[in-house]
């Protein structure tokens, strides 16, 4: 196994996440794309940890922190989506034009 096979897979997942972020209209699906991008970062962190072999497993610790913050982000994000849906009867970003100039 070489390092680059993991890095390129992570780059592909990250690019897919960017595509989904730009193309999707529904907020829930945009959050799904963000999860895909965070997951790509986790693959990178664990792969680099496997190469560097730090004595304190720093890469894996960072991956765990990323997972934790992602869980918090999803909780808050879906609460906001729920509130927006309750007020506007829609969860599509292009219909939420209240603050658009």
Partner 1 sequence: MSFVDWISQPVNWVFLVIGLGVAAAGFRVVTSKNVVHAALFLVASLAGTAALFLMLSAEFVAWVLVLVYIGAVVVLFLFGIMITRAPTGFDEGLDANKKALPAILSVALFLLMSWASITAFGTTAMENVGVATSTELIGESIFGRFVIPFEVVSIVLLAALIGGITIARKDPTPAEEEERRLV
Which residues, 6 to 65, sit near partner 1 by CB under 8 A?
6-9, 11-20, 22-29, 31-33, 35-36, 39, 42-43, 46-47, 49-53, 56-58, 60-61, 63-65
Strand, coil or helix: 81: helix
* Dist. CA 72–CA 48, nearest whole Å: 25
The residue count for binding partner 1 (CB under 8 A) is 71
C-alpha dist (Å) from residue 3 to 39, 42, 63: 17, 14, 17
In the bound state with partner 1, the residue whose beta carbon lies nearer, of 2 and 98, is 2
CB of 16 to partner 1, least distance (A): 5
């Amino acid at each position: 196994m070489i390092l680059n096979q993991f890095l390129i897979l992570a780059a592909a997942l990250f690019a897919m996440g960017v595509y989904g972020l730009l193309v999707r209209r529904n907020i829930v699906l945009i959050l799904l794309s963000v999860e895909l991008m965070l997951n790509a970062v986790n693959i990178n962190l664990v792969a680099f940890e496997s190469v560097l072999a730090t004595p304190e497993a720093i890469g894996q610790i960072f991956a765990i922190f990323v997972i934790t913050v992602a869980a918090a982000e999803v909780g808050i994000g879906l609460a906001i989506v729920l509130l927006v849906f309750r007020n506007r009867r829609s969860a599509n970003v292009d219909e939420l034009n209240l603050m658009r100039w």
